[in-house]
């Protein structure tokens, strides 16, 4: 799980769709898969996001955080598409390497969270956005973002056992 850092654009270099947007597409695809939990739905969200950013790119000013802008559009598209799609049902157990059924792993616990908490946790832990950036992306208040992040972290800690360092070891950066 690697973070996709904001790509610095050379102020004197070309400012076009390809140089500003394409470096972030991989991160966008990965995040879309985490949010939607469905390949086909993720492709549709990314497709709509790229089309919309292509149309609106001329309005984007040089120096704008393009990654933040892309994620904001992706979430808007996902909310729009999601309102027309039935909720996705996730399984309650997973198989371990031996094939036996056991308790859920971290990814399954995250998938089972309410959408708002899952979105905030994934944007923070998997995509590396700070709370202020998440508030800007989602259009929610900073207080709501901080509150939902705390709830999500608390929920995960309770489900896997308080006092463990498992979240950090699993790559979620939450100890």
The answer to whether position 135 is within a domain reads yes
The answer to whether position 155 is within a domain reads yes
The answer to whether position 95 is within a domain reads no
Between residues 3 and 65, which one has the greater pLDDT? Answer: 65
Report residue 139: phi and psi, to 5°.
80, 10
54 contact partners, CB below 8 Å, separation of at least 6: 17
**Structure confidence by residue, pLDDT tens digits, 5-25:** 444 444 455 678 888 888 899
Distances (CA, A) of 4 to 25, 65, 83: 10, 13, 28
- pLDDT at res. 104: 67
Query: Structural domain of residue 23, as residue ranges?
Result: 17-82
68 and 112 in a common domain: no
The answer to whether position 96 is within a domain reads no
- pLDDT at res. 49: 94
**Structure confidence by residue, pLDDT tens digits, 26-75:** 999 999 998 888 899 899 999 999 999 999 988 888 888 889 999 999 99
Rounded CA gap, 170 and 1, in Å? 10
When pLDDT is cut at 50, 70 and 90, the band that residue 97 belongs to is very low
66 and 108 in a common domain: no
* CATH code for the domain in which residue 30 is found: 1.10.1740
DSSP bridge pairs for 102: 94
- pLDDT at res. 168: 58
Provide the percentage of residues in the chain whose pLDDT is more than 70.
72
The answer to whether position 32 is within a domain reads yes
When pLDDT is cut at 50, 70 and 90, the band that residue 80 belongs to is confident
The answer to whether position 10 is within a domain reads no
The answer to whether position 97 is within a domain reads no
Which residue, of 50, 82, 114, is where some domain finishes?
A: 82
**Structure confidence by residue, pLDDT tens digits, 103-129:** 567 788 888 888 889 999 999 988 899
């Amino acid at each position: 799980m690697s973070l996709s850092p904001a790509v610095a654009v050379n102020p004197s270099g070309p400012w076009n769709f390809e140089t500003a947007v394409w470096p972030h597409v991989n991160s966008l695809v990965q995040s879309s898969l985490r949010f939607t939990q469905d390949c086909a739905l993720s492709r549709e969200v990314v497709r709509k996001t790229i089309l919309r950013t292509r149309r609106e790119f001329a309005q984007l000013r040089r120096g704008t955080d393009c990654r933040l802008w892309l994620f904001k559009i992706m979430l808007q598209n996902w909310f729009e598409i999601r309102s027309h799609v039935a909720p996705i049902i996730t399984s309650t157990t997973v198989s371990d390497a031996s094939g036996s059924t056991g308790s859920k792993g971290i990814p399954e616990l995250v998938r089972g969270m309410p959408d708002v908490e899952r979105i905030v946790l994934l944007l923070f832990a998997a995509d590396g956005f700070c709370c202020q950036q998440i508030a800007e992306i989602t259009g929610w208040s900073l207080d709501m973002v901080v509150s939902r992040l705390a709830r999500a972290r608390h929920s995960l800690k309770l489900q896997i056992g308080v006092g463990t360092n498992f979240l950090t070891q699993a790559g979620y950066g939450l100890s």
